[in-house]
C-alpha cells in the first residue's frame, strides 16, 4: 500500500510510541473508573465493553500509523537550535523584496566558480542557482553580485582562490566547496565541482565534506539570523558513485549539523530546511522526528 509505504505495520518506533499512548490511555481509564458506579457498568455487557475497548485501541493505532506515513514536517532540537524540516519552496522567497527578508538568510547552491552565466550549459535555467541569477539580472544587480563575489573578504582569502585561466566560458576563479558569500540576505555556497566539460559533479564523501565546511563558514556570517536551506543534492546534481536517496541526503545534512557544533540560539533564530513538494513523498518525516541520534 503506497499510503503506508514509509512506516510499515511492524515498525519498532511506531509500536513503541503506540504502547506509550496506550499507557497514557490506561492511566486515564483507571482514573475514570474511580468515579464510575456499579450501576453505570451494569448498563453495558462485558462483550460491549470489550468491543468498545478493542475498537478504541485499533482506531488509535490506525490514526497513528496513517499520521506517521503522511507527516509533512519535523521539528528537531540540535545543538540547542530549533531545526524545522517542512514542505516549502525557496523559489517563493526569491519573490520577496530584500527589505522583507531582514532577519533571515536563504541559501542557494552554486558551482565552485560561482558562475553567473545562465545559458543551460554553464548554469541551467531550471536550477535554483539559475533562477536566482536570472532574478538578479532582471533587477539590474548582476554586476553588484559579481563585484561582491570578487571582493568578499571571507570568500577571497588567498588560500581559497584557485585561478583557472584556461577556462573558456564562465568565471575563472575556483573556490573551495562549502565556501559562502552573502548578497541581499541570500547566501551563495559552492556546492558542486565543475569538470573540464562544465559538468557539475559530487561524490558522497564530498557531500559530507561540503556540509562540514558550510556549517563552519556560515557560522561566521549568519549573525543570529534564521537560515532557510533547501535539501541540497535532491535535484539534478550528479553523484559520481551512485546518488544517495533524498532521505539519506537529509540525514547527512542533520548529522553534520550536529557534529559541526553549529548553533543558532539567538532570539528567534532557527534553521529551516525546505523540502520541495515533489520531494515530500520521498522523505520519512516520522523517523526524522523520532531519531534521537540526530539531537
Q: What is the pLDDT along the chain (295 residues), one digit of tens a residue?
A: 567 789 999 999 999 999 999 999 888 877 876 776 555 555 666 677 778 888 989 999 999 999 999 999 999 999 999 999 999 887 776 666 666 667 889 999 999 999 999 998 888 898 899 999 999 999 999 999 999 999 999 999 988 888 888 888 889 999 999 999 999 889 999 999 888 777 888 889 999 999 999 999 999 999 889 999 999 988 778 888 888 999 999 999 999 999 999 988 776 779 999 999 899 999 999 999 999 888 7
Maximum pairwise Cα distance, the chain: 93
Q: What is the pLDDT of residue 166?
A: 81
Model pTM score: 0.87
Distance CA 191, CA 109 (A): 5
Cα R_g (the chain), whole angstroms: 25
- What is the set of domains in the chain, with CATH numbers? 2-70 (no CATH), 73-294 (3.40.220.10)
Query: Which residues is 194 bridged to in the sheet?
Result: 200
Contact 123/117 with Cβ under 8 angstroms? yes
Whole-Å CA distances, 238 to 60, 120, 267, 289? 43, 15, 38, 28
Distance CA 197, CA 97 (A): 36
Q: What is the pLDDT of residue 40?
A: 56
Q: What are phi and psi of 260, to 5 degrees?
A: -70, -25
Contact 214/195 with Cβ under 8 angstroms? no
Contact 124/200 with Cβ under 8 angstroms? no
Contact 256/212 with Cβ under 8 angstroms? yes
Q: Cβ contacts of residue 4 below 8 Å, gap of 6+?
A: 65, 66, 69
Contact 64/19 with Cβ under 8 angstroms? no
Angle at 155 between CA 152 and CA 161, to 5 degrees: 115
For residue 208, the SS3 value is helix
Q: What are phi and psi of 228, to 5 degrees?
A: -110, 115
Q: Checking DSSP bridges between strand 186-194 and strand 81-87, what pairing results, if any?
A: unpaired
Q: What is the pLDDT of residue 112?
A: 92
Contact 189/111 with Cβ under 8 angstroms? no
Angle at 77 between CA 73 and CA 81, to 5 degrees: 110
Amino acid at each position: 500500500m503506497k499510503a503506508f509505504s514509509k512506516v510499515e505495520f511492524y515498525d519498532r518506533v511506531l509500536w513503541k510510541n503506540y504502547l506509550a499512548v496506550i499507557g497514557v490511555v490506561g492511566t486515564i481509564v483507571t482514573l475514570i473508573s474511580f468515579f464510575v458506579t456499579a450501576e453505570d457498568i451494569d448498563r453495558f455487557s462485558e462483550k460491549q465493553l470489550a468491543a468498545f475497548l478493542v475498537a478504541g485501541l485499533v482506531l488509535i493505532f490506525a490514526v497513528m500509523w496513517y499520521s506517521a506515513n503522511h507527516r509533512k514536517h519535523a521539528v528537531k532540537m540540535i545543538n540547542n537550535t530549533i531545526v524545522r524540516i517542512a514542505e516549502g519552496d525557496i523559489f517563493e522567497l526569491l519573490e520577496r523584496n530584500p527589505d522583507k527578508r531582514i532577519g533571515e538568510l536563504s541559501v542557494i547552491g552554486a558551482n565552485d566558480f560561482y558562475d553567473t552565466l545562465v545559458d543551460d550549459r554553464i548554469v541551467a535555467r531550471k536550477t535554483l542557482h539559475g533562477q536566482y541569477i536570472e532574478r538578479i539580472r532582471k533587477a539590474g544587480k548582476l554586476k553588484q553580485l559579481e563585484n561582491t563575489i570578487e571582493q568578499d573578504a571571507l570568500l577571497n582569502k588567498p588560500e581559497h582562490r584557485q585561478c583557472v585561466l584556461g577556462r573558456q566560458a564562465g568565471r575563472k576563479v575556483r573556490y573551495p566547496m562549502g565556501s559562502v558569500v552573502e548578497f541581499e540576505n541570500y547566501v551563495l555556497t559552492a556546492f558542486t565541482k565543475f569538470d573540464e566539460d562544465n559538468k557539475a559533479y559530487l561524490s558522497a564523501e564530498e557531500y559530507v565534506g561540503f556540509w562540514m565546511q558550510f556549517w563552519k563558514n556560515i557560522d561566521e556570517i549568519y549573525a543570529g539570523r534564521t537560515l532557510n536551506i533547501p535539501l541540497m543534492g535532491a535535484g539534478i546534481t550528479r553523484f559520481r558513485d551512485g546518488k544517495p536517496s533524498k532521505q539519506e541526503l537529509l540525514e547527512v545534512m542533520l548529522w553534520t549539523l550536529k557534529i559541526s557544533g553549529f548553533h543558532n540560539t539567538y532570539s528567534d533564530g532557527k534553521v529551516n530546511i525546505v523540502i520541495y513538494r515533489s520531494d515530500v513523498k520521498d522523505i520519512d518525516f516520522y523517523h526524522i522526528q523520532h531519531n534521537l541520534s540526530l539531537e
